């Protein structure tokens, strides 16, 4: 009996030790350096916001700089229910050791928006949501490269776009788009996109501020012709990805160009 009790105690000790190691490992995975959040970020968000009591689609892309003093500044481009505009923003942010990050931004109209998210432990990515009442909007932020240019976008990419038309666009209300293509970028501003059996072309520019402007063809609703669309984006993840939104009036869509 004494030997059996000894074996049970030893087993419980091993289980407790294993549980403690799991807890420690899990806790360690959630520890971040708050200082790592300082720097330049590119972001994209999409969702719905209340407008005169009704939810309307919204997408946004931009660049933010989080200073070491807790202050934030940047430029955002927003497509709100098919109406495209751009604004400089300023504000504040707070990063914590548990990897949570919150920030508030004020545009030049005086309006404030508030966000909350969680950073990756390496400080290169933040998944977030807008925390203002009535906003069902989620997004992602990634660090922008130290230097940007068209030559940094070269090779094979996966291009995706998803969105819909709104009443602001004549004849486009309710028309949705959800498509994926293989895209080849030549590093000189030219794109070739393959949508199954359909091939289209496009162009892109990448400014020194890491903002991207793209014009490219996507298959039209008839499945035969193509439609030219305009996108504004931001280069992130060491040049491996472009986060973008559609600029065309009456269309609200988010897009990504991701290196394979």
- Please state, in angstroms and rounded to a whole number, the distance separating the CA atoms of residues 187 and 24: 46
Last residue of a domain, one of 143, 159, 190: 143
What confidence score (pLDDT) does residue 224 get?
67
Do 70 and 158 reside in the same domain of the chain? no
- What is the sign of the dihedral through the CA atoms of 59, 207, 73 and 110? negative
Q: Kindly state whether residues 159 and 106 are assigned to the same domain.
A: no
- State the distance between the two ends of the chain, measured CA to CA, in whole angstroms: 63
Q: Is 121 exposed, middle or buried (0-12, 13-18, 19+ CB in 10 A)?
A: middle
Residues 155 and 85 in one domain: no
19 within domain boundaries: no
Q: Specify the pLDDT at position 87.
A: 92
Statement to judge: residues 102 and 179 lie in one domain: no
Q: Are residues 105 and 44 in the same domain?
A: yes
Alpha-carbon gap, residue 5 to 125, rounded angstroms: 50
Same domain, 97 and 189: no
b/e code 4-25 from CB counts within 10 Å (16+ = b)? eeeeeeeeeeeeeeeeeeeeee
Residue 232 is assigned to a structural domain of this protein: yes
- Same domain membership, residue 112 and residue 47: yes
CA distance 116 to 39: 17
Residue 25 belongs to a domain: no
Instruction: Among 121, 143, 165, identify where a domain stops.
Output: 143
Centre a 10 Å sphere on the Cβ of residue 114 and count the other Cβ atoms it contains: 14
Residues 186 and 87 in one domain: no
pLDDT at residue 176, rounded to an integer: 78
> Could you tell me the residue range of the domain that residue 134 belongs to?
34-143
How many domains, the chain? 2
Helix or strand run (H / E) with residue 141: strand 135-143
- What are the backbone dihedrals phi and psi of residue 240, each rounded to the nearest 5 degrees, phi first? -85, -10
CA atoms of 23 and 233, how far apart (whole Å)? 40
C-alpha closest to that of 218 among 206, 202, 203: 202
**The pair of three-digit structure tokens given for residue 83, joined into one six-digit string:** 């109406």
Tell me the pLDDT of the chain (260 aa) as tens digits.
555 444 545 544 454 444 443 344 444 557 999 999 999 999 999 999 877 678 889 999 999 999 999 999 999 999 999 889 999 999 999 999 999 999 999 999 999 999 999 999 999 999 999 999 989 999 999 999 999 999 999 999 999 999 987 765 444 445 678 899 999 999 999 999 999 888 999 999 999 999 999 999 998 776 667 889 999 999 999 999 999 999 998 889 999 999 99
Specify whether 245 is located in the same domain as 221: yes
My answer on whether 127 and 213 are in the same domain is no
CATH number, residue 117: 2.40.128.120
């Amino acid at each position: 009996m004494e030997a059996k009790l000894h074996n049970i105690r030893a087993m419980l000790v091993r289980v407790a030790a294993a549980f403690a190691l799991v807890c420690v490992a899990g806790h360690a995975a959630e520890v971040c350096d708050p200082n790592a959040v300082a720097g330049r970020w590119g972001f994209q968000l999409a969702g719905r916001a209340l407008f005169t009591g009704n939810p309307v689609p919204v997408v946004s892309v931009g660049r933010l700089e989080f200073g070491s003093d807790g202050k934030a500044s940047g430029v955002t481009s927003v497509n709100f229910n098919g109406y495209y505009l751009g604004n400089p923003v300023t504000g504040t942010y707070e990063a914590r050791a548990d990897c949570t990050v919150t920030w508030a931004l004020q545009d030049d109209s005086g309006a404030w928006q508030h966000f909350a998210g969680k950073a990756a432990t390496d400080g290169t990515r933040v998944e977030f949501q807008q925390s203002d009442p009535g906003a069902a909007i989620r997004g992602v932020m990634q660090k922008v490269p130290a230097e940007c240019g068209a030559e940094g976008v070269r090779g094979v990419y996966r291009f995706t776009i998803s969105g819909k038309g709104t009443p602001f666009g004549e004849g486009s209300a309710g028309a949705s788009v959800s498509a994926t293509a293989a895209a080849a970028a030549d590093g000189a501003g030219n794109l070739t996109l393959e949508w199954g059996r359909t091939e289209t072309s496009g162009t892109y520019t990448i400014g020194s501020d890491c903002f991207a402007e793209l014009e490219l063809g996507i298959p039209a609703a008839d499945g035969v012709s193509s439609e030219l669309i305009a996108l504004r984006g931001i280069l992130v993840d060491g040049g491996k990805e472009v986060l973008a939104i559609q600029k065309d009036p009456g269309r609200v869509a988010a897009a990504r160009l991701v290196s394979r």
